[in-house]
Amino acid sequence: MKNQLYEDESQMQTIDYIYEEFRKEFDQILNKCQAFDHCTYIIDYYYNFKTGLKEQINKLDSNTRLSKQLRQLDDTSEKSPDIINMLNEYEEYRFPSQVQLVKTFKSFAPKAAQKKKTVKLCESLMIEENQANVQNSLRISQLQVIQEENPIEDEVIQNKFELEVVESEIHLKNNFHQNKISINPEQEELNQLEIRMEYAKSLYQEALLDEALEITQDIFLKLNNKQAQWFKEKNYQEFYENLQEKKLILTQNLNELESGGWRIEKQTQNLIIKYKLFEEEQTVTVYLDSVFEANITKLMALINEIDLYQNYVPFCQRSSMNKQLTKTCKICDIIVYFPFISDRRAVFVGEGIDRLMINGTIVFVCKSIDHNIDYQQKHDIHIETNKKLVSLIINYYIFELTPINDNKCRVRAITNSNPQVKYLPNWLIGYLARKMAHELFERMERITKNFEKSPWFEKYNQNIQFYQWIDQKVQKYFELRQK
């Protein structure tokens, strides 16, 4: 962003660009507020926005058009009801004891005296034979309202018991302040950190890897030595390192989607297939890009229902789920048949990541783990050995799904695998990989068009809660996109 701005016609586009950038940033913050994101997730965005806005305003002449626009935006950003609610929520989140103290004190304060209606009644006294038990019995038939008067403040009768309770509570509260009883500030800070970390873990359980890592990393970078030890003892350190590793794998896969050096196998209006050969590693990378006339949850069912892989994944003979680690993370075990060579086996971890609020996508990332003993021990994964099967190493495998509307979805997929064959020529390996990409696309298209008649429809209904959970995320994304 340029530091020096001039209010002339030649700089109009730059001025409009600067204002629009700040405006877009503020709109994104409002969207996060309206999406009911947690205040701790929004506050950093808001403070960064305000800091950048203030710095830009201070650089400008107050009489320029851009300065006036930015000052107006600054004023709007402070008076917005959504922002005010978010800041109040954050204040209560940071200082719960202080906010609760204020609320409690207000609850102890005497309430305003309520006006009571004065009613005159015709009384009929019944005096029993036993004079010790004189009762005022007002028979309903004898009650006759004579007059309803306007109450007078001095005549309002206070509830004496309620007043005594209020006075007693206020007295105790005054003693509390006089004795200066307070919570250990270090412990209270740890309590707040724990709340934020548990929130980050809940985000990860919702497949929000990026958001969970952002909060966890912000906490980690601000820890002092004592807090760092606590962080490690609570196993938050391990959680943080796991998130870092997952984000690294995700980033590497996404970067490969945008890389160059491809050979075009097929390119039509609705389908692109490209590939790369790596002769030294004897691996091949295949890229597929297509738009499917299908709801995103149908496509997700194809990816998520591992037991049905053999029904559409080329060369797959058998598939099963070894273990489910989280709602969106599974260990998969598949056996693949290749012509000319013995059968191959791939054991890999597959995980779904919700990036709808980041770039409008849902991503599935896969990576082999059959040679990763540490990972197997860490997650208590048991893999039966079979010496007749050669390991098929999946270096990376990613599906990126972009919902366009309720019945259209773009799919980009990329895979790099090593079938561990020393004597097959690279051109043959490349041919098999390209054939696999063609077959995969055609079968996915055929299944989604006849989804209700396919085996996936039954699985879809069996796991309907999971797919409804996904659909709710997508619908929320569509609603925010339209604003």
- C-alpha distance from residue 327 to each of 171, 207, 319, 479 (Å): 52, 8, 19, 25
Map residue 418 onto helix, strand or coil: strand
Task: Answer yes or no: are the C-beta atoms of 353 and 365 closer than 8 Å.
Answer: yes
What does the alpha-carbon distance between residue 480 and residue 483 come to, in Å, rounded to a whole number? 5
What residues contact residue 473 under an 8 Å CB cut-off, 6+ apart?
Answer: 354, 356, 362
The tens place of each residue's pLDDT in the chain, 483 residues long, gives 444 444 444 455 567 778 888 888 888 888 887 776 667 768 777 887 888 888 888 888 888 888 888 888 888 888 888 888 888 887 776 655 555 554 555 555 555 555 444 444 433 333 333 444 433 443 333 334 334 444 444 444 445 555 555 555 555 555 555 544 456 788 888 888 999 999 999 999 999 999 999 999 999 998 998 899 999 999 999 999 999 999 999 999 899 888 888 888 888 888 898 888 887 777 888 899 999 988 999 899 999 999 998 888 888 888 888 889 999 999 999 998 876 678 888 899 999 999 999 999 999 999 999 888 998 888 898 888 887 888 888 888 899 999 999 889 999 999 888 877 776 677 777 777 788 888 888 888 889 888 898 999 999 999 999 999 999 999 999 988 886
Which single residue is written with the structure tokens 């102890």? 108
Strands 390-391 and 408-418: unpaired
Two tokens at 335? 């056996």
Predicted model pTM: 0.62
Strands 344-355 and 118-119: unpaired
Map residue 277 onto helix, strand or coil: strand
